[in-house]
Amino acid sequence: MPEYRQDPLTGRIVIVAEERASRPHQFDIENSCVHDHSATYQQICPFCNGNEFMTPNEIAAFRVADSSADDSGWSVRVVPNKFPAVVQNVPDSALWSENYSWFSNYSLKFYHSENERFRKPVSGLGHHEVIIDTPRHILSISEMTDTEVTDMFRMYQERLKSLRKEECWKYIQIFKNVGAAAGASIPHSHSQLMAMPFVPQMILSIWEKALEYSYNKKKQKTNRNLSDCVWCNRIKSEILEQKRIVEETLNFVALCPFVSRFSGEIEIYPKSHESDFQDNVPISEFSLLVRRTIIRLEKAVLGIKKPFAYNLVLNTEPFDSSCPSLKNIFHWHLSILPSLARAAGFEWGTGLHINPISPETTAAKLV
Ligand SMILES: [Zn+2]
Ligand SMILES: [Zn+2]
């Protein structure tokens, strides 16, 4: 029997309809990332070792001691996106606070006023960079060594730390598209970072809901075993119930969320409350768990040619210092979203997703 499930933080509703998994061509999208690994291809890959001249000048890198910037000798390299979605040097960037705070706090009462804010485009201020995860021409985290996957996440931390110092950024999204079906235009394993001058509406709404939860929990104080953090309590219940757990380590848990939009969707959380993806994260333990989880997905559930296409999204606390009560409310986590089926008319029209493999079934197949 199909079921509706609602996520309390986003309000998002998902239809879990396992009967649909037996439909013909359920997963007919090209999931695998088959492409040319040949030496000839690697000569034209801008992210391969030795081709540093093909990218804009590097912003940061982990390098061996005697190597120079924009030369070989690096293990992770960060460069500006050659085709950025947003740019740093915009004519009215001095007005950023006035222009961009509007996006997070808009009101329809101004809709017909003189300035017609809703019809006036605002310059696309932002920062868009590429983190080249490894000099080796590989596609997925599953092919990385222990050191490579740990270095990749260490660089995420470095970039967050560095950009946090620039006051104009309110939110930073680090993500990774693996395979053409997940939106990657270059197959060589890389991540992207976008810094925004405002907190996106969806993130702000989740953040405020979590604050509301925390406020009510503090006020009620009915159950002392419960934390003030909605995610901490959710993680505790999931570990007790064990129905959607993929793997638990000393400090982390990988689970299939109860309201999974996509088949094979997995979230990885620190078990104790941490709002930011910062230096104190046990980075090696986390990195290896992420890699094992991707390998589990490839081997156990999907039954398709590996490596498969997926998105990886790091959700960490926004930087908006104008809201002190929101500080330390967020609970950072990583989402893994396999690209197994395309969103179609119903999803675009309603915002609801139909998931043909329940998170319980997925978790059972993964462990
Ligand atoms: Zn390459
Ligand atoms: Zn928490």
pLDDT in tens, 98-144: 677 777 777 676 666 656 667 777 788 899 999 999 999 999 999 99
Tell me the C-alpha distance between 364 and 358, whole Å.
10
Helix (H, G, I), strand (E, B) or coil at 15: strand
pLDDT of residue 217: 83
Q: 306 falls in which pLDDT band (50, 70, 90)?
A: low
Tell me the C-alpha distance between 254 and 316, whole Å.
16
CA of 338 to the centre of ligand 1 (A): 22
Task: Show the tokens assigned to 325.
Answer: 């009560």
CA of 316 to the centre of ligand 2 (A): 12
CA of 254 to the centre of ligand 2 (A): 15
Residue 285 has pLDDT above 60, yes or no: yes
Among 37-51, 161-175, 323-337, the range scoring the smallest mean pLDDT is 37-51
CA of 235 to the centre of ligand 2 (A): 8
Task: Show the tokens assigned to 231.
Answer: 């995610």
Count Cβ neighbours within 10 Å for each residue of 247-269 and write b for 16 or more, e otherwise: bbeeebbbbbbbbbbbbbbbbbb
CA of 62 to the centre of ligand 2 (A): 31
* CATH of range 3-88+126-366; options 3.60.40.10, 3.30.1330.90, 3.20.20.330, 3.30.428.10: 3.30.428.10
CA of 128 to the centre of ligand 1 (A): 20
Residue 10 has pLDDT above 80, yes or no: yes
**Paired residues of 3 in beta bridges:** 16
CA of 191 to the centre of ligand 1 (A): 13
Tally of CB atoms within 10 A around 353: 19
The average confidence (pLDDT) of the chain is: 87
Closest CA to 128 of 82, 168, 196, 81: 81
CA of 308 to the centre of ligand 1 (A): 17
Tell me the C-alpha distance between 287 and 293, whole Å.
10
Residue 316 has pLDDT above 70, yes or no: yes
Residue 231 has pLDDT above 90, yes or no: yes
Evaluate whether 361 touches 18 at the Cβ level (below 8 Å): yes
Residues having C-beta closer than 5 Å to ion ligand 1: 45, 47-48, 137, 188
Q: Average pLDDT of 308-324?
A: 86
**Paired residues of 255 in beta bridges:** 245, 267
pLDDT of residue 39: 67
CA of 331 to the centre of ligand 2 (A): 5
Which residue has better confidence, 88 or 131? 131
CA of 146 to the centre of ligand 1 (A): 19
pLDDT of residue 236: 96
CA of 57 to the centre of ligand 2 (A): 39
Residue 340 has pLDDT above 90, yes or no: no
**Nearest ligand for residue 331 CA:** 2
pLDDT of residue 240: 97
DSSP 183-227: T-SS-S-EEEEEEESS--HHHHHHHHHHHHHHHHHHHH---TTS-
Q: Could you tell me which residues come within 8 angstroms of residue 281 by beta carbon, excluding any fewer than 6 positions away?
A: 157, 270, 274
pLDDT of residue 44: 86
CA of 278 to the centre of ligand 1 (A): 29
Alpha helix positions (H), 134-200: 146-164
Domain boundaries, given as residue ranges, for the chain: 3-88+126-366
CA of 145 to the centre of ligand 1 (A): 16
CA of 270 to the centre of ligand 2 (A): 8
Element (H, E) at 287: helix 283-296
**Nearest ligand for residue 42 CA:** 1
CA of 212 to the centre of ligand 2 (A): 14
CA of 211 to the centre of ligand 1 (A): 43
How far apart, in Å, are the Cα atoms of 200 and each of 157, 312, 350?
21, 18, 20
Which residue has better confidence, 303 or 154? 154
CA of 335 to the centre of ligand 1 (A): 25
Write the single-letter amino acid at 52. E
* Model pLDDT for residues 167-226, shown as the tens digit of each residue: 889 999 999 999 888 888 889 999 999 999 989 989 999 999 999 999 888 887 666 667
Q: Average pLDDT of 303-320?
A: 82
Which residue has better confidence, 22 or 283? 283
pLDDT of residue 251: 98
Among 1-15, 64-78, 171-185, 339-353, the range scoring the smallest mean pLDDT is 339-353
**Nearest ligand for residue 47 CA:** 1
CA of 260 to the centre of ligand 2 (A): 20
Q: 26 falls in which pLDDT band (50, 70, 90)?
A: very low
